[in-house]
């Protein structure tokens, strides 16, 4: 992967968005791959593409080059002074 390309946080991508990205940009991706990838991430809690054993090695390498696992962080929490409700940004 070129160093100027930014990896996409796969945890912020829907299954539909992943499917569209893979099918458009990865010639060896199949329509069932996004479901398999999401099973690994959200059912098996695997956050390492190299451990996704039922995904082809070429697709795992593609995923590693273009996606990353980065947890979202909460930047600020605002507490309403009147009713103590919380909002984040």
Closest CA to 46 of 62, 69, 67: 69
Burial degree of 47 (CB within 10 A; 0-12, 13-18, 19+): middle
Give pLDDT, residue 3. Answer: 53
- Enclosing domain of residue 22: 1-89
What is the CATH classification number for the domain harbouring 52?
1.10.150.530
Burial degree of 78 (CB within 10 A; 0-12, 13-18, 19+): exposed
2-6, 55-59, 83-87: range with highest mean pLDDT: 55-59
Give pLDDT, residue 81. Answer: 79
The domain tally of the chain equals: 1
Distance of CA 48 to the CA centre of its chain: 11
- Phi, psi (degrees; rounded to nearest 5) at 69: -105, 110
Give pLDDT, residue 82. Answer: 80
pLDDT above 60 (res 6): yes
The neighbouring-strand residues paired with 67 are: 8
Give pLDDT, residue 4. Answer: 64
- The model's pLDDT over 32-74, given as tens digits with 9 standing for 90+, comes to 999 999 999 999 999 999 999 999 999 999 999 999 999 876 5
- pLDDT band for position 11 (cuts 50, 70, 90): very high
- Between the alpha carbon of residue 13 and those of residues 20, 29, 68, 85, the distances in Å are 11, 17, 11, 29
0.85 surpassed by pTM: no
């Amino acid at each position: 992967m070129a160093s100027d390309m930014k990896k996409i946080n796969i945890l912020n991508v829907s299954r539909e968005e992943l499917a569209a990205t893979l099918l458009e940009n990865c010639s060896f991706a199949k329509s069932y791959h996004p479901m398999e990838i999401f099973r690994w991430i959200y059912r098996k809690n695997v956050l390492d593409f190299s451990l996704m054993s039922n995904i082809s090695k070429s697709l795992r390498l593609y995923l590693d080059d273009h996606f990353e696992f980065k947890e979202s962080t909460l930047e600020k929490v605002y507490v309403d002074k009147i009713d103590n409700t919380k909002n984040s940004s």
